Amino acid sequence: MKIKVGPSILACDFANLEAEIKRAKDAGADFLHVDVMDGHFVPNITIGPGVVAAIRKKTDLPIHAHLMIERPEDYIESFAKAGSDIISFHVEALGKTRNTRLKKANNIIKKIKKFNRRPAIALNPATPLAEIKGLLEKLDWVLIMSVNPGFGGQDFIPAVLEKIFELRNIYGGDIEVDGGINDITGKECVRKGANILAAGTYVFRASDMKEAIRRLKDDE
């Protein structure tokens, strides 16, 4: 299967954002993974729609806005209008009961599609697949977190490999894995059925970015 790589700009040099985006494109990035954090759903605060719009002007790479925020339904429009191509939101952010979560997820998916963007649902490491089973036929992209969201540079949690495998058995769409991805953990994810890798530290801090991305895509 062809593997796609989305460098997570959280690990880039933000003072030189334009140059960093260009560096990622020249090194073989398939899209940009943009981590949006609100200081509520996760303890950290990062990027908003204004920065996404600024990035949009500087690249033709697809932008994946990974929303690690509460009330994602309130921000779909601004991230879509800012030029995100893929918008992912967390099932854990959608309320206390499973019914509420499913209902909200369905509405958010509809909203993202209305703006002609691709919806994706994201799952924390501890969240079971059962949470999203009722949604899979409406989605062609699932984001499996392999660290607890909030920060770059954390260690990969191997327990998620089983989840990737289980998901691939029931789902033919794109499976992206995010957190602690390097040439070793990335390969394990691909072996279990993932076809998209988000990687921050491993890509942006590599001495040779092109080689780092090549290794992630190499499925030998």
- Catalytic residue numbers, as ranges: 35, 178
We find the least distance from the C-beta atom of residue 23 to ligand DX5, in angstroms, to be 16
Please give the residues from 46 up to 105 whose contact with ligand DX5 meets the rule CB under 6 A.
66
Our finding on whether 8 is near ligand DX5 (CB under 6 A) is yes
Our finding on whether 186 is near ligand DX5 (CB under 6 A) is no
Our finding on whether 180 is near ligand DX5 (CB under 6 A) is yes
Q: Which does 93 bind (CB under 5 to 8 A by kind): Zn ion, ligand DX5, none?
A: none
Which member of 112, 121, 199, 216 binds ligand DX5 (CB under 6 A)? 199
What are 122's two structure tokens? Answer: 């994201």
Which member of 76, 152, 160, 212 binds ligand DX5 (CB under 6 A)? 152
Q: Which does 11 bind (CB under 5 to 8 A by kind): ligand DX5, Zn ion, none?
A: ligand DX5
Our finding on whether 189 is near ligand DX5 (CB under 6 A) is no
Q: Where does this chain touch ligand DX5 (CB under 6 A) — which range of 7-15, 74-82, 128-136, 159-167?
A: 7-15
Which member of 104, 124, 200, 212 binds ligand DX5 (CB under 6 A)? 200
Reduced 3-state DSSP string for the chain: CCCEEEEEHHHCCHHHHHHHHHHHHHCCCCCEEEEEEECCCCCCECCCHHHHHHHHCCCCCCEEEEEECCCHHHCHHHHHHCCCCEEEEEHHHCCCCHHHHHHHHHHHHHHHHHCCCEEEEEECCCCCHHHHHHHHHHCCEEEEECCCCCCCCCCCCCCHHHHHHHHHHHCCCEEEEECCCCHHHHHHHHHHCCCEEEECHHHHCCCCHHHHHHHHHCCC
* Interface residue list for ligand DX5 (CB under 6 A): 8, 10-11, 33, 35, 66, 147, 149-154, 178-181, 198-202
